[in-house]
Amino acid sequence: MIDRQTRKRLLKTVANRVIACADELTDLDRAIGDGDHGANMRRGFEAVLAAVDDLSAKSFGESLKGVGTTLVMKVGGASGPLYGTLFLSLGKSLADEVDREQVVDAFVAAIEAVKARGKSDIGQKTMLDVLYPVLGVLRESGEDLPARLKTVARLAAESTIPMKAIRGRASFLGERSIGHMDPGARSAALMVDAVVDVMEGFA
Amino acid sequence: MKGNVGIVIVSHSADVARGTALMVEQMVGREVPLGWCGGDPDGGLGTSVEAILAAIDKAWSEQGVAILVDLGGAETNSEMAIEMLPESRRSRVVVCNAPVVEGAVMAATEAASGAPLDVVRRTAEELTPA
C-alpha cells in the first residue's frame, strides 16, 4: 500500500537525490551535450518539492501524473517531456495498492511511451539503456531484488560510456560521444536508486 | 476561408526566435498570425512547453498552425505541447522538419497566399514554394 506518507517520502527522496547530483549531471552533459541537464532537472524537481504536499495528497497514480506534468512544464529541455512522459505513463498504470507484476506492466508501458516521445530505442545511449535493464531485473524478481535493482541501474548507466549516441544533442558528436556516460542514463539510475531506498525503508 | 495558417517559431534562444519572427514579418507583414518563443523557464537557453502553448495560442488560426523548431529539445517540447492542446486543436498543429529561419520565412510566405496547412508544411520542408 503506497499511502500518503510513503508517496511524500518517495517524491521527496527522488527529488532531493536528483537535485543533490545536479552538478554531476551538468558535467556529464557538458561533455557530450549542451550542459543543461543538471540545471534543468534541478528546476523541475525543485518545482516537485515545492508542490510535494499537494502532489502526495492525491492517489499514487494522480501524484505520479502530477510529477509528470510538473516536469513537462518546468524542466525546459528534452528531458522534461521525456521524464514527464515516463511519470505520466506510470501514473496512468499504478494505483495505491500495487504489486510487483503491476509495476512490471506499468514499466513496460512507460518505456514504450518514452521510446515514442524520444523516437529512440535501446542501445542509443539514452535513459532507455537504464530503464530497460531495470525492467529485466524487476521481471526476474527473486532474492535480493532491491540490491540487484540498484546494481543493474548503476552498471547500466556505466554501460552507456562505450556507446555511440544516436539521439539527442550528443548524436551531433558521432564517434566523439563514445567514452562518456549519458547524462540521462545517469539521472535515470539516480531515480531508481532513490526509489529502491524508499521501498527498503532507508529513506 | 477562415484566415491564413499561423506560424510559430520555437528556438532555444529568445534572440534567435525574435530575430526569425522579425524576418518573417518583413516578408509577410501581419498577414500571417505569428507566435514565437525561446529560452527555458528561467530565461536561459532552452525551450518551455508553457511558452510554446502560449505561442500557439497567439498564432492560432482555424486553418491550423505550423511550428518551426531549431534543435531536438524544441521539437520534443513542441510535440508535448501539441498533445496538451484541447482535442479540437490538436490535429491542426504540425511541427515542420525544416531549418528554423529558412523554414519559417518560407512557411509564412506560403501561408500568406492562403495555402492550407499541409501545403505550408511541405513548402517549409522542401524549401521550395508549392
In a domain, B1, yes or no: no
Query: Per-residue pLDDT for chain A (203 aa), expressed as one digit of tens each?
Result: 899 999 999 999 999 999 999 999 999 999 999 899 999 999 999 999 999 999 999 999 999 999 999 999 999 889 999 999 999 999 999 999 999 999 999 999 999 999 999 999 999 999 999 999 999 999 998 889 999 999 999 999 999 999 999 998 899 999 999 999 999 999 999 999 999 999 988 76
In a domain, B105, yes or no: yes
Task: Residue B50: give its domain's CATH number.
Answer: 3.40.50.510
Helix (H, G, I), strand (E, B) or coil at A4: helix
Q: What is the pLDDT of residue B121?
A: 97
Which residues in chain A are contacts of B49 at CB distance < 8 A?
72-73, 80-81
Contact B6, B32 (CB under 8 A): yes
Q: What is the pLDDT of residue B1?
A: 47
Question: Where does chain B show beta strands of DSSP type E?
Answer: 6-11, 34-38, 65-69, 93-96
Are the Cβ atoms of A40 and B47 closer than 8 angstroms?
no
Please name the member of A40, A72, A117 whose beta carbon is closest to the beta carbon of B40: A40
Residues of A (98-157) whose Cβ lies below 8 Å from B: 117-118
Residue span of the structural domain in which B76 resides: 6-126
Are the Cβ atoms of A81 and B79 closer than 8 angstroms?
yes
Place of cell 517540447: B77
Residues of B (27-86) whose Cβ lies below 8 Å from A: 40-42, 44-50, 71-73, 76-77, 79-80, 84
Which residues in chain B are contacts of A43 at CB distance < 8 A?
40-42
Nearest to A152 by CA among A175, A134, A129, A174: A134
Q: What is the pLDDT of residue A169?
A: 87
Terminus-to-terminus CA distance in chain B, angstroms? Answer: 19
The low-confidence residues of chain B, meaning pLDDT below 50, are 1
Q: What is the pLDDT of residue B42?
A: 85
d(CA B115, CA B82): 21
Bridge-based pairing state of the strands B34-38 and B93-96: unpaired
Contact A143, A126 (CB under 8 A): no
Interface membership of A184 toward B (CB under 8 Å): no
Residue A125 dihedral angles phi and psi, to the nearest 5°: 65, 55
Residue B37 dihedral angles phi and psi, to the nearest 5°: -155, 155
CA angle A69, B6, A114 (to 5 degrees): 30
Q: Report domain A4-200's class.
A: mainly alpha
| Domain spans, chain A | 4-200
Which residues in chain B are contacts of A167 at CB distance < 8 A?
72
Q: How many domains, chain B? A: 1
Residues of B (4-33) whose Cβ lies below 8 Å from A: 12
